[in-house]
Structure formats: C-alpha cells, structure tokens
Amino acid sequence: MRKKIVAGNWKMNKTYEEALSLVSEIDNMLKDEVSGDVTVIVTPPFPFLHAVGKLTQGNDRLHLAAQNVSEHESGAYTGEVSAAMLRSVGVEYVLVGHSERRLYHHEDAQTLYKKMKAALAQGIKPIFCCGEPLEERDADRHFEYVGQQLKDSISYLSNEEFDQVVIAYEPIWAIGTGRTASSQQAQEMHAYIREQLSRMFDAEAAFNCTILYGGSANPGNAKDLFSKEDVDGGLIGGASLKSRDFTDIVKSF
C-alpha cells in the first residue's frame, strides 16, 4: 500500500514562538478534523526541530522532517548538521535536493546521493526533490531532465535503501510563483518517474514509492492534484505556513 503524505516545508520562515503556535494549531486541527491515513509532516528550520519534535514524538499523525542534512558523519564542518544530530531530536524525514539548495548552495548529484546515504544510515527517510526549470519544460525536455536527476542520485541506492525514500516532483517554474502544474502535467511526470524507478529497482518497490507534487499547491488545487493516480500527496511551501490552509490541503484526498 502506497503511503499518502502531505509535508509542509517552512523554508526560512517563522520565529520560535510562531513555529510553536503553528505546529500546535496544526496538531489540534488534525485531531479535530482529520481522520484517515495521511502522514502529515512539518519541516521547521533547524533551531526549532527540538521543540517541535517534543510535540511530534509519539504522535502518530504528525511527523518531523529537517530541511537539510550534512553528507558528513561528524567533525570539523562548521555550520553543518549531521544525520545523527537530527535523529537525536526526533527527526524522521529530511529534504534532499530541493531546487533552492541545488541553486543557492550548489549541491550536485553526488552530494545529494551522499546526503541520502548519511540520512539512511541513521534511519532517516530522505524526501528526494527533483524538477525541471522553465527552459527545459518549454523545450520539451522535462522528462529527460528529471529522468537524469533520478539517475544521477537515486539509482545508486540499494533496493533496501530505496524502500525508505519519498520522491517529490517540484517543477521549478511552479515553486513560489503561484503557477501550478496542471494535474495532468503532474500525473504525466509522476507516472514517468515511477516508470524510471521501476527500471532502477524492482517494480513493486517503484509501485509502492510515494511521489509528492510540490509547487504552489494550495487548498484550491490540492483536490484535483491528489485525485491523480500517481500523485500521492504534496510538498507544500507557502501554504504550509498557515495552519488553516495546510490542514485543508491534508483534507484534500
């Protein structure tokens, strides 16, 4: 059975107090309004992980993710945060390969592979992000582009490692722009991704892999996106900063 996931990526937003109120609002809304089997994930900035983790630990509805992890195990890497540190504060998932990290922090395919390995070694599940820039979509090369991203980072994992991975398809032109991929465009790409994965790993593992859509998803378009066969949920940026919007997205399956 494929897991349905809605993950909120808070990016570099919120102060400590704001983060705590957001997560407790979400927690209360989930308890009161949401039944069913959606795994809900929040992804606060590093300084708030510990405090938010106290709320998510032992909470079977709400789970904790980090926005980044070092590819190194430990040592002299000023400013970096290791997978073991994340694990020790209750982190269960980590974003790897978000386009903002690829672009602003020059994270390449090999680094992303190492980050996934580092996370997996600590029992943390990577949410591997992929997606094409507008030029590639306009030139009709989006399938090849995303296929290559998977090949360059994901294909080196073992079958056992791959079982722990979540994929997020996030077309760069849709991130924070208010321009969403149509549910048709999302479905087409998700089906393509699943097919590529079935060539790298076994077909059952590819079938069971959760593939999220990200890029200006909101309470108005989530239902349509989530109705598609290969869209198993969403990675939500802007709309995850408001408890009402985020919870409404969770209710969109």
Catalytic site positions: 98, 170
- Helix 183-200, helix 142-153: angle, nearest 10: 40
Which residues are registered as beta bridge partners of 236?
8
Q: Which of 45, 131, 171, 215 binds ligand PGA (CB under 6 A)?
A: 215
Residue 126 sits in the site that holds ligand PGA (CB under 6 A): no
30 binds ligand PGA (CB under 6 A): no
69 close to 94: Cβ distance less than 8 angstroms: yes
What does residue 128 show for φ and ψ, rounded to 5 degrees?
A: -85, 120
Residue 8 within binding range of ligand PGA, rule CB under 6 A: no
**250 belongs to the binding site for ligand PGA (CB under 6 A):** no
Q: Which of residues 162-201 bind ligand PGA (CB under 6 A)?
A: 170, 175-176
Of 65-73, 107-115, 194-202, 212-220, the window that binds ligand PGA (rule: CB under 6 A) is 212-220
Choose which of 193, 237, 251, 252 interacts with ligand PGA (CB under 6 A): 237
Query: By CB under 6 A, is residue 243 in contact with ligand PGA?
Result: no
Q: Dmax of the chain from CA atoms? A: 47
Dihedral sign computed on CA atoms, order 96, 97, 101, 107: positive
For helices 109-121 and 142-153, angle between their N-to-C axes, nearest 10 degrees? 50
119 vs 236, which CB is nearer to ligand PGA? 236
Strands 166-169 and 211-214: parallel
* Residue selected from 153, 196, 216, 243 as contacting ligand PGA according to rule CB under 6 A: 216
Residues that bind ligand PGA (CB under 6 A): 9, 170, 175-176, 214-217, 235-239
